[in-house]
A and B are shown apart, each in its own frame.
Chain A
Amino acid sequence: MTDTPLISLVDVTKTYHLESGDFTALNHVSLDIKENDFVAIMGPSGSGKSTMMNQLGILDVPSTGELYIDGKNVAKMSNLERTHLRRDTIGYIFQKFYLIPLLSAYENVEYPLILKYKKHDTTGRTSALLDAVGIDKEKAIHRPNQLSGGQQQRVAIARALVNDPKILLCDEPTGNLDRKTGFQIMEILCNLQKDGKTVILVTHDPKVAEYAHRTIRLDDGRIVEET
């Protein structure tokens, strides 16, 4: 581990050009996130949380300013390079799980491995991860619509981890789950952070944010508080 931030936003502004006029979703934001951090991003609706997540997930690039992920300047990368960086460095966990409906639970977890190595998993990593998040072999052959919300989120976590990414981006990971299941999911994320992952989660729920070591509050596209 080095002192160099794993993620660095330098005076990042993101402006959307709408018919009603320009809308600045992130306004001169600077932020460093070190490896193995556990960061919660909070804020009211429209504060810029989702825009921030899209930037951190390399789904979007800043209008101005610079974003470095794992030492690489995202704005200077080609689309294909950004796709590969996203595939190899970032694991996504969404509120709505976003599993691929045509694939089984096992295939959903195996999918990023196939993207990276262009072949099916012969190492047993997919099965091991599913086992680790509590999805047995019988459940693994089911399609997402045959699984409960909690099971789908566990599959999504296994999928996020399969390429051993440094960063886990979690967008309201417990938002669609009951309290008990949400607690179990947060326990898994805490353990992953303890195992060395950098966890960034966006949430409305202060109780969920309590699991994080740092909390960043956004409002009107600016960081207004950091604890």
Chain B
Amino acid sequence: MIGDIFFQLSVRSVKLNFTRSILASIGIVIGVVAISAMGMLGTNMSLQVEDQLSSSANTIVITADAIRMGPPGSSSSASYISKTQLNKIKSAVGTNGTVIPLYSTTTQFTSGNVQGRGSIYGMNPDDVNEFLTIGNGTNIAGINEALIGLSLSESLGVEVGDRIKVSSASDGPPTNASSSASRATLTIAGIIDDRGTVADSVSTDNGIVVSKEWYTAQYDGKDEYTQVNVIVDDTDMIAEIEDAIDAKINTDEKKPSIRITDASSQLDTISSTLSTLTTFCLAIGGISLIVAAVSIFNVMMMSVNERVQEIGILLSIGTETGEVRRMFLYEAFILGIVGSGIGGLMSVVIGYSVVDAMIGTTEFFFMPSSIIYVPAGMVVGMVVCVISGLYPAWRASNMDPIDALRSD
């Protein structure tokens, strides 16, 4: 192609109108950067969420299907999972997984002069190692011991062996707290590694874990579980176990008493939301490419109109119409190559910066599903350019050589 006389003519035409050509290409640069960066941002968000949720992909989360109407406390159905329901869940799961009942609420923590707010989970200490990782220290051994999330430990400035005070007044149900235990003290036995976004609704990063006995003594509500997590042995059985639990407990289809979710359903919801967001952002990028296409079309029409006599010469001395067409398509292609090339390079730099700034990690940036947006954006940019050049090229090649020669 480079040795082709028509390509050389196109290159010279672009050079002759350098400023005009560069300005038109800038539109393509912006368009390519827009769609590539937006695409990469959306994909990186999805990949990060997917990665975090995959750690709890084997977990089914069961919560009470409470529909709150009116003032707090006046729920139309139970806001907890009862012991009877828990037994039914255990029966449905059988030997296919581990059932972990959990109490939880949010409350205030104090360490010295530092105060913090977060979640408090009550559970059987034996269940801790099923899904939590203690990075420092040991599991809960005594009744007044607790595990603390890494983020909360850092914000409160506590380490293993330190003590924290916990307000007995919870922010959420159950609310029957004993006023006598207004500030109970707990000793930190261990620190739980950060979990990030998880699908099992146990966000310990900014919370603490205590034994179920301490929790119910502090907040009451014995056998009124906030949620029940089922860690299944084989993820292929998740649907089957969910159906079994549903069949045993949600006997009234019109008024289900529990809600059953898992990582895949959460992932679907989040992915769908992110996908919509990404599509919207890509559409905005697409609009900038349409503007760029109009600009390229305009430049190409100017090129054709300025070279009418030259086209007449080419046709009169035996140039085929297809060769004239090719010459102008080359010109559009050159504008596309320049715009897409610069746009591709800038996409990597800008995309990297945007992903780093908005997601906080570039761990997934160079993964194929993310970086593919750069060549994809470049190809789209080039295709847009060539499409914009189609009509001008067709017009040039279909000129009457006699009329074209006469024009001055």
Contact = CB atoms under 8 A, between A and B. Distances in A.
A120 B3 contact: yes
Interface in B68-111: none
Contact of B5 (A84, A87, A88, A114): A114
Nearest to A114: B5
A59 interface: yes
Given A54-B402, A60-B402, A87 B318 contact: yes
A177 to B, nearest CB: 19
A115 B318 contact: yes
Ordered nearest first, which 3 A-B pairs have the shortest CB separation? A87-B318, A102-B12, A98-B313
A83 B319 contact: yes
Given A60-B402, A111-B5, A114-B5, A102 B317 contact: no
A154 B86 CA distance: 102
Contacts of B390: none
B344 interface: no
Interface SS of B by simple majority: helix
Quick one: which of A59, A60, A159 has the most chain B CB within 10 A? A59
A86 B310 CA distance: 17
A46 B310 CA distance: 25
Contacts of A120: 3
A102 B321 contact: no
Interface string A159-172: 10001000000000
A57 B405 CA distance: 13
Interface in B43-66: none
17 contacts: A57-B316, A59-B316, A59-B402, A79-B321, A83-B318, A83-B320, A86-B318, A87-B317, A92-B316, A98-B316, A98-B405, A99-B313, A100-B9, A102-B13, A112-B317, A112-B318, A159-B317
Contacts of B317: 86-87, 92, 111-112, 115, 159
Interface of B: 3, 5, 9, 12-13, 16, 309-310, 312-321, 323, 401-402, 405
Nearest to B10: A102
B20 to A, nearest CB: 16
Contacts of A88: 318
Interface string A5-45: 00000000000000000000000000000000000000000
Contact of B9 (A103, A112, A115): A103
A206 interface: no
A83 to B, nearest CB: 5
A130 to B, nearest CB: 17
Given A57-B316, A84-B318, A92-B316, A101 B5 contact: no
B10 to A, nearest CB: 9
A1 B244 CA distance: 101
Contact of A102 (B16, B316, B402, B405): B16
